[in-house]
Structure 1
Amino acid sequence: MVKEWFHKFSQSSRAQLFFIITYVLVTCLGLYLLEDSASAIFPFLLVLLSLLILYYMKINVKLKWAIGFIIIAVMIPLSASQGSNFQAFMDVGTLVLIYVAMSLGLNIVVGFAGLLDLGFIAFFAVGAYTYGIFGSKQANHFMPFGHYPLPGDTFWIFIFVGAIIAAIFGILLGIPVLRVRGDYLAIVTLGFGEIIRIVFNNMDHPINITNGSMGISQIQPPRIFGYPIDTPSEFYYVALFIFILVIYVVKHLENSKLGRSWKAVRDNEIAAQAMGIPLVKTKLAAFAIGASFSGMMGTVFAAKQMFVDATSFTYLESTMILVMVILGGMGSVPGVILGAAVVIILNNQVLTDLSNWMTSLSTAGILNVPDALSPSKMQRFIFGILLVVFALYRTQGLIPHKNKKVDAERLKREAAAEPPYGNSEAKTNLEGSDS
């Protein structure tokens, strides 16, 4: 009986649409009513779960995108806007969007092109320092002309400036590493990431460009039509705008000629080269485009934090982004989005709230937790165990990559319908040249 009902439900687009709308409204109402309490995290997670449920719904793709956009852009901010946890939720949402965009950039390099990059955080640093230097007084130390900091209105230009500079750094990285592959490629990219971090950490003499280990502070917040953007809820929409741009570019690249070239290089470089695919240009394009996404989000990160230093761009951060890609499913765009969301929400929200709750219980004397097992010390341990479990039972990722299905029968019909020389005009020209 249950199987029959579920089969009917899965075949009915109207029933699925009614279900997802009802689910979103109910969970958003729960978040709205409980937003001031400590248990607000549960309805918040349930609202986010609706996006995953929506992905598996068998309804029109354009309708899916429309509903997903409404959930992200309207329902979540609106349902969480009336309580004290609003800015905290929006801060987590902003981080999710930042890391999702970076993960999609790394997915181009690792998932599409098959180039293992362990220093991807370097491009994030390039974008952050690009805006940090010119959006603060730091540029006065080495720029002989101009008045700094630049106004916050220039932030929108620096989003693309950061992307371009990061892309240039991606090409500079790609040129030498084209000679190596596999483990050696990982070592070279790891070294590149560390070099960038150390250089930024020591560029305070003889010319003070990055202010060294002291970092750059008092970075100008973005402004739009004279209005400053300085709260997590406002940065949420900035990150959402760039996220939509990144998704649009990635989805169009995935099945384009360049995207198919990346996958061919990933599967077999020799066969790809034999088919006429230029390896150098294809690999450099992957490094440049992937790095540009990270550079854009680095600009947003610097403006959001209003402070930037080298400690934010360590090897651990590169590893975390790679974990997001592998956990979600290499080469899978929806999988990478889910993987980044799971890692950030789990690490920054769920485990943090769990640690705070257990600490409060221990302080109140309700639960006696030894110092060696304190929640603050066990947070990384729990996170690591969860990653191991995911890796063991979801070896292909949370949402494995699926190649685009091709209708072979349709291709055969189209091939049979075509004239033998492509078109009659070409055939006539060919016969005339023969005579």
Structure 2
Amino acid sequence: MKERLNSLFTKTRLQILFFAAYVIVTAASLYFADTSVISFLLLLLSILILYFLNLGNKIKWIIGIVILGGLLPFAASHGAAYQSYMEVATFVGIYVAMALGLNIVVGFAGLLDLGFVAFFAVGAYTYGIFATAQASQFMPFGKYPLSGESFWIFILIGCFVAALFGVLLGIPVLRVKGDYLAIVTLGFGEIIRIVFNNLDKPVNITNGAMGLSSITPPEIFGIKLMYPNQFYYVVLAIVIFVIFIVRNLEHSKLGRAWKAVRENEIAAQAMGIPLVKTKLTAFAIGASFSGMMGVVFAAKQTFVDPTSFTLLESTNILVMVLLGGMGSIPGVILGAAVVTILNLQVLTEVTNWLNTLSSSGVFNIPDALSPVKMQRFIFGGLLILIALYRSKGLLPAKNRTYNPEKLMENEVPESKVVLVANEKIESVNGR
């Protein structure tokens, strides 16, 4: 036994040493290279490696925050592409938070939602209307635009407004399931976009197709946040908060109720789970995260219009959840990061590289097969390959199971009752 513990300790120590060396080398290469996309991606990969290390969760969180909050911005600050790297990292955080919100609806509760970007739009317009002079068009009182300090309040306001819209969506769609639910939510997302596109008459609220421009950037202690590296820390703080909330919800009584509804609504209702309340809570909480990031998106871009909230955006967020693994928090984070980095950086860099080779005469690419036009095709092909060989996602969800023999030995507290459903054993507190 002692030899086994010593071997395990030695193995863990070697893992830590190799991981530390990997992080130092990638950070140094990113710092000293003028533009090194590969070094930037390898440094981000260290977070995935950290997830698989045999360390405690608290230690992993501390190391991860140090890498993302300190080492990554510092290493990228030396190169000419610093703002570009921070831009990509910021968008990764925005989509991670939204994907985690959709994961509550799709992954935990099993409710297919194809109009999730509507809540993102609600949050963006909630801040955009009051952070520009647009509010003075229909509100005779008050001085607009509001100051940048109001941004921090609007994060909460956008959260609650989006949650309200989530409940309004959930009420009429509770009677439909499966494909019909997907069609109804798809319609809801398109309705929201069309309403914002046409809500410039008879009262001009959203400025219609022209959108809202010159949105007031956030302020903190009198300093305006105008650069991607500044927004990066705001997004990082929100993402950490969202992960903490979702992790606690997953293993709570409500989280187990969502999973019970996902597996079998009739069995869940027979066990006393209120279907209406459970589904509405999933819609509301999932939408609230998207509303928060909508506020951040509007403040960062300083411009919003209906074209930013199309069906394609909803599809992208759903792909992130499916690619990472429905119901898996680490998987959804990985899926959101992979899809965002592929779209914003990797495929763009490959396209620019191939265009450079083509313009230099190394080889000629037909116009119909231009990398710019084939970018979506390449992205779709990669998704198909991953779906074929990792059908349950990159990091599938792991359900907690209990050994029946241990249950007979009274190793589970008496305050828990065990439910047996679909050949899986789950514990439910308070039953």
TM-score (norm 2): 0.92
Task: Say whether 1:117 aligns with 2:113.
Answer: yes
Q: How do 1:26-45 residues align onto structure 2 when only pairs under 5 Å count? A: 26-34=25-33, 36-37=34-35, 40-45=36-41
> For the Cα contact (< 8 Å) 1:329–1:400, is it kept in 2?
yes
Secondary structure of the residue aligned to 2:215 is: coil
Matches of 1:133 and 1:417, distance apart in 2: 53
1:67 pairs with 2:57:
no
2:93 to 86, 93, 97: 97
* Corresponding residue number in structure 1 for 2:14: 15
The aligned residue for residue 258 of structure 2 is 262
1:18 shift after superposition:
1.5
Q: Map of 1:393-432 to 2, 5 A cutoff? A: 393-406=389-402, 412-414=408-410
Counterpart among 122, 141, 144 of residue 145 in structure 1: 141
Q: Distance in 2 between matches of 1:205 and 1:178?
A: 32
Provide the residue aligned with 2:182 in structure 1. Answer: 186
Counterpart for residue 296 of structure 2: 300
Matched, 1:351 2:350: no
Q: Secondary structure at the match of 2:135?
A: helix
C-alpha distance in 2, partners of 1:83/1:416?
A: 55
Report the equivalent of 2:420: none
* Matching of residues 91-240 of structure 1 within 5 Å: 91-240=87-236
Could you say if the C-alpha distance between residues 22 and 206 of structure 1 is closer, same or farther in structure 2, counting changes exceeding 3 Å? same
Note the 1:231-380 alignment, pairs <5 A: 231-380=227-376
* SS of the residue 2:175 aligns to: coil
How far does residue 49 in structure 1 lie from its aligned partner after superposition? 0.9
Q: Does 1:51 align with 2:51?
A: no
Alpha-carbon distance, 1:331 to partner? 0.2
Question: Distance between the aligned counterparts of 2:342 and 2:411, measured in 1?
Answer: 51
Cα contact 1:10–1:16 (8 A) shared by 2: no
| Structure 1 pair 63–409 and aligned structure 2 pair: CA distance change class (3 A) | farther
Conserved? CA contact 1:264–1:272, under 8 Å: yes
More helix per residue: 1
Moved more, 118-127 or 74-83: 74-83
Cα RMSD between the aligned structures?
1.7
* Post-superposition CA distance 1:201-248 (Å, at most 9, x none): 000000000000000000000000110000000010111011011001
Q: Distance in 1 between matches of 2:221 and 2:73?
A: 22
1:83 aligns with 2:79: yes
The 1:60–1:408 alpha-carbon spacing in structure 2 relative to 1, beyond 3 Å, is farther
| C-alpha deviation, 1:406, in angstroms | 3.9
Query: CA separation in 2, counterparts of 1:360 and 1:17?
Result: 41
Alpha-carbon distance between aligned partners in 1 of 2:9 and 2:204, rounded to the nearest angstrom: 62
The number of equivalent residue pairs is 410
1:426 alignment partner in structure 2 = none
Query: Aligned partners of 1:51 and 1:234: how far apart in 2?
Result: 21
Q: What is the Cα deviation at residue 369 of structure 1? A: 1.4
CA distance in 2, matches of 1:8, 1:65: 25
Contact kept in structure 2, 1:132 and 1:302, CA below 8 Å = yes
Which digits, 9 at most, give the CA deviation of each residue in 1:116-145, with x for residues without a partner? Answer: 000000000000000000011110100110
CA contact (8 A) 1:9 1:16 kept: no
2 CA distance for matches of 1:327 and 1:185?
Answer: 21
Structure 2 CA distance for partners of 1:418 and 1:360, relative to 1, 3 Å: closer
* Distance (whole Å) between structure 2 residues aligned to residue 64 and residue 135 of structure 1: 38
**CA offsets 1:311-350 (integer angstroms, 9 cap, x no match):** 0000000000000000000000000000000000011100
Counterpart CA distance in 1 for 2:224 and 2:231 is: 10
> Match for residue 381 of structure 1?
377
- Equivalents in 2 of 1:418, 1:397: separation in Å? 36
Pair 1:108–1:207, CA change in 2 (3 A): same
Identical aligned pairs, as a percentage? 66
Higher mean displacement: 369-378 or 153-162: 369-378
- Judge conservation of contact 2:199–2:208 (CA < 8 Å) in 1: yes
| 1:409 shift after superposition | 6.1
Structure 2 CA distance for aligned equivalents of residues 229 and 9 of structure 1: 47
- How far apart are the structure 2 equivalents of 1:83 and 1:9? 40
In the other structure, the counterpart of 2:419 is none
* Residues 1:71 and 1:408: Cα distance change in structure 2 (over 3 Å): farther
SS in 2 for 1:377: coil
AA of the residue aligned to 1:268: N
Alpha-carbon offset, residue 413 of structure 1: 4.9
Distance 1:264 1:83, change over 3 A: same
Residue identity opposite 2:192 in structure 1 = I
Instruction: Tell whether the 8 Å contact from 1:10 to 1:58 is kept in structure 2 after alignment.
Output: no
Tell me by how many angstroms 1:365 deviates. Answer: 2.1
**1:83-108 residue CA offsets vs partner (Å, 9 max, x unmatched):** 11000000000000000000000000
Letter of the structure 1 residue corresponding to residue 199 of structure 2: M
Unaligned 5+ segments in structure 2 are 1-5, 416-431
For 1:124 and 1:391, the matched residues in 2 are separated by: 27
1:408, distance to aligned residue in structure 2 (A): 5.6
